[in-house]
Amino acid sequence: MQTIDSFQERVKSSGIYIAAATRVIAVAYSFFHLWIAGIGVISTEASRHINLIGTMALVFLLYPLSKKTSRHWTFALEIVLIALAITVGVYLEIEYESLFARYGQPNSMDIIFGLILIVLTLEIARRAIGIPMVLVVLLFILYTAFGNLIPGYWGHRGQDLDSFITNFYLSDGGIYGTPIGVVVEFVVLFILFGAFLQKTGAGKYFIELSQLVTGNMRGGAAKAAVISSAMMGSITGSPAANVVTTGSITIPMMKRGGYPPHMAAGTEVAASVGGVLLPPIMGEAAFLIVPIAGIAYGKIIVAAALPAVLYFLSVYANVHFYACKMGIKPDQTNLGRYRDLWDILQRGTTYFLPIGVLVYLLVTGWSATFSAFCAIPLLIFTSLFRKETRISFKGFFEALELGAINSLPVAAACAAVGMIIGCVELNGVGIKFTSLMTMGSSGNLFVAILLVGLASLVLGIELPISAAYLIVAILAAPALIKLGVPVLPAHLICVWFAIDSAVTPPVCITSYIAAGVAKAHPFKTGFCAWKMAKGLYIIPFLMAYTPITLNGPAMDVFIAFISGAIGLISLSAAWEGYFLVRANIIERILLASVVITAIYPSAIFNTIGFVTFISVIFVQMNRRRSIPMESRINAV
């Protein structure tokens, strides 16, 4: 997600005419999605056609053909591409019933327009996401077309051009299929909500609130960064955007508080990545669970809440133990700038009331579309009561523009992934992959989860989170379900693993962005973020083996949460080598072992983990008493 400033810079660099056209189309794009969410009456097919026309037009205007090419020389080409996108959409609307009547037997015009649509979709994916996305789609297309030439297990009968055109045009496994439908119904609206929050100053407010809460704590600057990034990240749904927006404030704040640059940047990355996992918005990948798994979004955010809390508890514990180990003292330099707690809480009604209404509507069964549609005007209304949050007329349109532009990479990825889904439906590779995973893991769920994590990591190196999740969900989630994982936890596991490339070296693009803000070494930042985001790799196992996603009796859920919390806190202490005092090697091994006992829902394992945890506390308390008071590093 971009900031207002970065969006305006991109538009201005395009030239006056392109800038004007971009602003008009972006505002119209956002208004269209608000209209169909509220009072608009339009067919599902027409809404998807219009969405993709708008997406293509904005991508062609905003993303250049090549970084080395002058926009003035390519403007004519962009106009031609936009005209082709409009023509394809209009043709589909006019011929939609006729296309269904001749389903499977497209005429020459269908084939021509179908090929144009495929090329345009690949081009917006290339511009908005990158060449790797295009290569993945082409690989699936080639495999589907020429499967008859492949011997053995992976071979199939192949598909002709008629099958491709029909499938990509009309089925839910196609360009106008389920993924682009999710963009129309959910993604754009929630991104718009995040854009309006950004314009009302929510990011700055969340940082102020977090500093007020943690200012008198050891390592308070880093703890404030974790809390504020959690709150803002749960709204923006984008790790990179969160690093740019909140990180530009929290990273310098942590450096002033005594944290090394790479640690400050790594903390911000780990917290920002977690924001994508925290309800209510969670990032675009979570919305894609709705149509693929057939589960209401309200149920998804309820199930995702406790795992997300565990993740942030792990990150928070890590910065706490690091601060204690390094002797970082409380930083109260910023507290005097803030008004009293009551004033801070009063200002919070601008943000927490709309967010609360959004969550309430989702949890009580209202559709995500209606919930977001209600939350946006409520946010605008509550912002009017305070001068510092009030959205001006200009700011209102800037938020509409920003929401539209931030939707483009997601929409482009979903259109491209629609072709992958179409290929999987035609070639049957999903069934083969499920069988292969089951056989490759020898029916062992633990090994199967490791394979899913590895596949997600490889895909996530160059693909956006939504695309990586969709591919893994199509190919791997059925294997997890077959091995006994409930449907929703299986898909949440895929979402969590789809994010791991953001923090896993050597790629970890989000870490490199944060390193630039902190002026830190990129690899040190990446390793630090990876260390602090360890919950990203452990909690999926908890979701598979325990009822942490609320898929069991209340007492079992409570025990799973407490065991998971103890395990992750223990692992953080083991990693930093500090608990109540500095830990020796035996204590670190014992603490690290506690997380293993938390994974399996067994009374014996839980008891062993709890006894180990208490034993280390007892030993450390005794050693702490023997340390002179003036030499202690107190944990506050």
- The answer to whether the CB of 423 falls within 8 A of the CB of 141 is yes
**Per-residue H/E/C for 388-413:** CCCCCHHHHHHHHHHHHHHHHHHHHH
pLDDT above 60 (res 3): no
- Number of domains within the chain: 2
Query: Which amino acid, residue 419?
Result: M
**DSSP letters along 333-393, please?**
TTGGGS--HHHHHHHHHHHHHHHHHHHHHHHTT--HHHHHHHHHHHHHHHHTTSTTTPPPH
Rounded Cα distance between 199 and 218, Å, is: 32
Maximum Cα–Cα distance across the chain: 87
Query: Which amino acid, residue 98?
Result: S
Residue 74, burial from CB neighbour count under 10 angstroms (0-12, 13-18, 19+): middle
- The answer to whether the CB of 204 falls within 8 A of the CB of 249 is yes
HSE toward the beta carbon, residue 309, CA cutoff 13 A: 14
Domain boundary among 116, 131, 146: 131
Domain boundary among 100, 131, 162: 131
Rounded Cα distance between 398 and 189, Å, is: 15
Q: Is 73 within the bounds of a domain?
A: yes
Q: Answer yes or no: pTM beyond 0.95.
A: no
Q: 63 by DSSP, 3-state: which?
A: coil
Q: Is 24 within the bounds of a domain?
A: yes
Domain boundary among 131, 160, 195: 131
| Closest CA relative to residue 537, chosen from 560, 568, 565 | 568
- The answer to whether the CB of 515 falls within 8 A of the CB of 521 is yes
Q: Is 271 within the bounds of a domain?
A: no
Q: Is 218 within the bounds of a domain?
A: no
Angle between helices 487-498 and 465-475 (to 10 degrees): 140
At CA 279, angle to CA 274 and CA 285, rounded to 5? 75
Q: Is 421 within the bounds of a domain?
A: no
What is the span of the domain harbouring residue 625?
552-636
Q: 578 by DSSP, 3-state: which?
A: strand
Decide which of 624 and 491 is more confident. 491
Rounded Cα distance between 512 and 534, Å, is: 18
Average pLDDT of the chain?
86
Q: Is 465 within the bounds of a domain?
A: no
Q: How many CB atoms lie within 10 A of CB 119?
A: 11
- The dihedral over CA atoms of 610, 611, 617, 620, expressed in degrees to the nearest 10, equals -140
Q: Is 544 within the bounds of a domain?
A: no
Rounded Cα distance between 398 and 337, Å, is: 29
Query: Which amino acid, residue 14?
Result: S
Each residue's pLDDT tens digit, 590-623: 999 999 998 887 889 889 999 999 999 999 998 8
Instruction: Report phi then psi at 578, rounded to 5.
Output: -150, 135
- The answer to whether the CB of 463 falls within 8 A of the CB of 132 is yes
Residue found by looking up tokens 């080409």 in the block:
77
pLDDT above 60 (res 119): yes
Q: Which residues on neighbouring strands pair with residue 578, listed in sequence order?
A: 582
Q: Is 23 within the bounds of a domain?
A: yes
Band of the pLDDT at 377, cuts 50, 70, 90? very high
pLDDT for residue 15 = 63
Q: Which residues on neighbouring strands pair with residue 582, listed in sequence order?
A: 578
Each residue's pLDDT tens digit, 204-263: 888 888 888 887 788 888 888 888 888 887 776 678 777 887 888 889 888 888 889 999
Please state, for a pLDDT cut of 90, what percent of the chain lies above it: 38
Length of the chain: 636
Each residue's pLDDT tens digit, 530-563: 889 989 999 999 999 999 999 889 999 999 999 9
Q: What is the mean predicted confidence (pLDDT) over 139-154? A: 88
Rounded Cα distance between 507 and 446, Å, is: 25
